[in-house]
Structures are given as structure tokens and as C-alpha cells.
Amino acid sequence: MRHTKRFAALMLAVMMALVLFAGCGGGTSSSQSSSTGSDSQSQSSGSTQSSSSDSQDMAGLAGVENELTMHIEGEVDKTKTLTTLIDCDASPAFNGNPYDDVAGANWSIQPFMFDYLAFFSSMPERTFKLSLMESYTYEDKVLTIKLQPGLKWSDGSALDAEDLMTNYYCDVNVSQVWNYMDKLEKIDDLTVQLTFSQESPLLLNLAFNNPIRTPDEIYGKWAEQYKEVVETMRVYDEETMRWKLTDEGNEKAAAIKQDLLTYKPAPNEVVCSGPYVIDKYNTSEILFTVNPEYRKEPLISSIRGLRPGDSQAFATAILAGEYTIENGGLNVDMSNEIDNKYKDTLRKVFVPEFSSIGYVFNTNVYPLDQLEVRQAISMAVDRTSLLAVAEPGSFSGSEQNAGLLPSLEDAYTSPGFVDTLTQYNYDPDAAAALLESIGWKKEGNQWVDANGESPEISIATISSWPSFMMTGEAMSQMLTDFGFNINFQPMEFGVWNDFTKSDEKMMACTFIAAASSYAYPWECFNDLFNANSRTGWQKFEVGEDKVYTDPTDGKEYNVTKMLSQLFSTSDETEVQDLTQQLMTLSNHLCGYISVLEKTAPYRIYDPKLSLADTELNTIQQNFTYYGNINNIIAKMLLDDEIYFVK
């Protein structure tokens, strides 16, 4: 069977200028035939599906009008340093362990330090462009990966199949590929084979998603322990067609991860597979220099990664001309100021992120365990006003809090389905009626519960991220004005990271129900119900199926099984049915407020920087301009499409 449903277009309407576009996606290789990758592998379902823009409000998609183009003719200048934005830990705890997601070598610097088997994009069609791989074949649930010959780590040692095996084993705590992998085998020094338990449109994404970051000489001791876990402490669930770790396996894997996190190499001592290594670093920046063992010499000899700091520090750095290229968050006024300041030299495009910002409820604590309270909060928030203070390029989230990105709704739901869901649009009178229905009443300007108390609700946000900070502050004021007892708590990332995983009486900002890796419904709902550690859903035992009860009609949803079905099916009708069921459950539980979906303004300040050609001032629909800022740079470096000209 071939999955023919489209990866949806982003639906965007510009407040100041109308922009319409349609995106497309793709399916998977057939289980009846072989698909082979040599340079790039595109898998398309054939037709483009557009989306109406009627329901989408934009915070602003203003471009910069000048005579510049992305690609610039001229002799390459290797003397200049490219300065880009990074967002990794700035404390003395910063280290080079890529598995340390708090203080380690994180997503923002990994594209420079570590190479990928293949780079992925869902636009304009589902495509894998090979990097470390020479080729791959996928047939009858067997994926065979062949590495390029002669690959080396930055210390000069060979990068081969043993390192790839180690990478997969060390991802036991990281990647869901092990839920679907029967076995992992080394065929020869360059070839590894993965045998899967089922077919799925997403298996190649899972297999290729993470960078190669684990030289066996360093990480082999942990890989061997993980190997023992997957070979002896897993059971196969025939009903969900997934492998699960036993209780003993979960405990063992967690212990291995904790031991792995004790490894804290200095960032400039990390052994890398990518085009650069860290040369120097401090609390404000990281300097990358070319990895001399990399298989090709990039046309940019040095990269400076600049930490943004808080919003004021970031804006000051931009105004001072510190950045060559960045996509950091700016409020609307500052964005306009920068556009005007650099109007003759600035180039800008908008990169689809398939990411969604929302505020999750901790449903395990009072009063957020009360459905009516969660619904009232949702209806007391004017999302249009929040959108007006968000970063340019943002557009409306789901007013149904339904778990699917608005940009995917038209492609994966039947016409009119979304209108059947509960609408959590701004309606203070309806919000008041909900509270009154459970015995709350207004005393003066504040709501009190049936016990005559006004329980405090904390709203935690990251102070340095504008879309989080500005929407959180505005929402807190709205809810305070409505009569809730709100404690607004902006925090530095590290403090927020710990606080939002606690059991405080809180709402917390987070990227929620996003689909940035695969642009597919399974990713949205897996993030909402499984992967996001900050959602406050009911507690389940490790390994236990997650069965939720719909509070409106008592219907039970086995979300674990439904997600497994959604992951594996290539049937268009079944994808739609499962998507709509999960949207209905999310809508009825009202476990979060969906605020906005994002595109990322990609701003290029140096007019002598040549990049992959594309149309300026538009939302991108191509392979290159898809992903995070430094992943996009890494793609262009691989193809010699980014360099300075003299």
C-alpha cells in the first residue's frame, strides 16, 4: 500500500499583505517494492492539496523590499566568519555530551559538530538527501544502510558501521526507533541492517533522524549495556505491534542514561563527525573551526555561535551588527525597527517550523484538575490579542485545543469536522458560567471556589523567548483581570526546565503538539500524550497502556494502541479516523491552550553572504529552507551553497 495523504500546506493569511501558498508532502515506499537511495530520495504522493486561509490570523509577515537576491555571484572569500544564533547552556556546566539535554551539546550546535545519515524535508515532497550514507535500501521491513567509504572522526579514527551500531544503541532512551526494531545487525565494516516489526510511513524518519555522535571507542561501554537491555529486557506487544521494555529494562535503561550523563567532556575536546569542531567557548559565544578530518572542506572556514541572552541583549546584539544570520524571537516593534535599520542590506525569508506554542495545565493538582476550570481559562483568553504581541510570522493556534497543528487540519480531517468540536474562543461570559456551574462565585474582582478560597495558579514561562514571555505576560494579565489568582513567573531556561516538571499548581509554556520532524499527525499526538514531559496528564505506570476517559460521554480511548495504529497505517481513511478521534479526545480533555503556530523569520544581514537561491519575503516550500536555523546552514554547507563572496 502507498500512503497518499498529503503533508499539508501551511495556511497563512497576512494581516498587512495577503500571502497564500500551498505545500505538499508525501508517502512512503511500498512494502511490495524496493526503494534505493543514492544521492537524494524523494517520495511523493502526487497531488498538491491547498488549505483555505479564512481561519488563520497572522501576527505579521512583513518582508524587506530591496534589490538583493539570495545567491550572489563572485569569488569565494574564506577569511570571514559567519555568526549565527545558538541556544545552548551558558553556565560553567556547559559540556560536550550530546545526550545532556540541559547543559550539553544540544540541537543548536549539533548540526555543525555531528553529521547525519541523511537530511530530511517534507517540502516540497518527502525527501531524504544522503550525507554520511552512500546508499540505502528498504524492502519488506528491512532497511540496509551503507556508509560512505573513508569517513573519519575529528580525531582521525575511522567512522564505520561499529560507530553506527553504537549510535543506535545509545539512542535507546532517545529514539522511538527501538519500539519498532526487531534487530540491529552489522553486515560489514560499512553496512548496518535494521529489521522492523511492522511497516510504517515514518520508519525512515526514525532511522535517520538523529545525528551520528558516538564514536564506539568512547561510547561503546554504554552501547554494550543498552544492547543487553534490548536483547534481554524487551517484550513484544502483538496488539500494538511494538516492543516494550520490561520494568527491569526501564530501570536498567534509566540507570545507564544516568551513568552516561556523568560523561562531561570539555566542548573543545568532543570527537565530531561533522564539518566543524569547537575551538573556543565562553558564556556568550562558541567559536567553531573546520574539522580537518571531514570528508570535504566547507567554503566557510569559521563559524561563531552567539548566545542570544535575554530579549534586550539579543536585540542590542542585532542592532550592533553582531549577527550574519539569525532567526531569534523579536517582538513586533523591534522587528519593524530592525527591518527599517537594515532595509538596504537585509534579506528575509520565512521558514515553516510546524511547531506550536501552548500553555499546558497540570491536571493532577487543584484547581486545574477541574475540567470546567480548564475550559474557563481557555475561554477567558483572547488569543487574537496574544497573537498581536507574538513574534512576527506567528499565526493562530487551534481554538479547539485539539492536538493537531492547524496547518495539517485540512489534509487529515474531513470537511466540517473541526466545527463539530467544542470551540474555546474568547467568551468571558461563557467562562464565568462554567465556573458558576461548579460552585465558584465572584467576590469583588476575584473568583473564589465553593470553599470560599481563591486558589493560586502559577504561569511559568521562559523570560528570554519573546513568544513565550510576551504571550505569557499578556495572558496572565487577562486572567487576572477576569478574576483568577494568577502568579506569573518568568524564569531563565534552567530554572524553568526544573520547575515545569514539578507538581506545582501551574500552567506552563511549552512547544506542544508539534510536528517539526515529520509533518505528520502521529508526531503531534505522540508529543501531546507521550513525549512532552511538561504535560500534566493523569499518571500511568511505566509500560502501562495509556487509557483516557472522555469526560463528556465516558468513552474510553486507549491512546497507546491508537498511536500505534496511526504510526503503522498507510490507509488514508484510517489515518483520518484515528486523527479525528484523537482530536476529539484532546478537545474534550482541554489539557492545554493552543496559542499559536510558528514560521521562523530567517534574517540575513551580510549582503556578501551567498545562500541557496530562493524567493525572498515568502514562506519557504523547498528542501533547503526546512528545519532549524543551523540545520539549514549545514544542508547548504554540504552542497557548497553558502559562502561569502569578495
CA 277 to CA 265: how far, in whole Å?
Answer: 13
Q: How many residues does the chain have?
A: 646
Share in percent of the chain as helix, strand, coil (round to 5) = 30, 25, 50
Q: What is the pLDDT of residues 584-623, one digit of tens each?
A: 999 999 999 999 988 888 999 999 999 999 999 998 989 9
Average pLDDT over residues 460-483: 91
| Residue 347: all three cell numbers together | 534579506
Q: Is the confidence at residue 3, as pLDDT, over 50?
A: no
| Residue 459: all three cell numbers together | 504561569
- How high is the mean pLDDT of the chain? 88
β 456-462/302-306 pair status: unpaired
CA 349 to CA 601: how far, in whole Å?
Answer: 6
Q: What is the pLDDT of residues 559-592, one digit of tens each?
A: 999 999 999 898 999 999 999 999 999 999 999 9
Q: What is the pLDDT of residues 246-304, one digit of tens each?
A: 999 999 999 999 999 999 999 999 999 999 999 999 999 999 999 999 999 999 999 99
Lowest mean pLDDT among 46-55, 69-78, 494-503, 534-543: 46-55
> Quick one: pLDDT at residue 405?
92
Residue 287: strand pairing partners: 280, 304
Continuous H helices in 133-183 = 161-170
Average pLDDT over residues 418-447: 97
| Residue 66: all three cell numbers together | 530591496
Residue 541: strand pairing partners: none
CA 620 to CA 637: how far, in whole Å?
Answer: 19
CA 511 to CA 517: how far, in whole Å?
Answer: 13
CA 590 to CA 74: how far, in whole Å?
Answer: 55
Q: What is the pLDDT of residues 147-201, one digit of tens each?
A: 999 999 999 999 999 999 999 999 999 998 999 999 999 999 999 999 999 999 8
Q: What is the pLDDT of residues 23-36, one digit of tens each?
A: 222 332 323 233 44
CA 646 to CA 642: how far, in whole Å?
Answer: 13
> Quick one: pLDDT at residue 182?
96
Q: Which residue has the cell 556523568?
A: 262
Average pLDDT over residues 37-62: 41
> Quick one: pLDDT at residue 60?
57
Q: Is the confidence at residue 61, as pLDDT, over 90?
A: no
583 sits in which H/E element: helix 572-589
Q: Please, which residues have CB within 8 angstroms of residue 554's CB and are 6 or more apart in sequence?
A: none
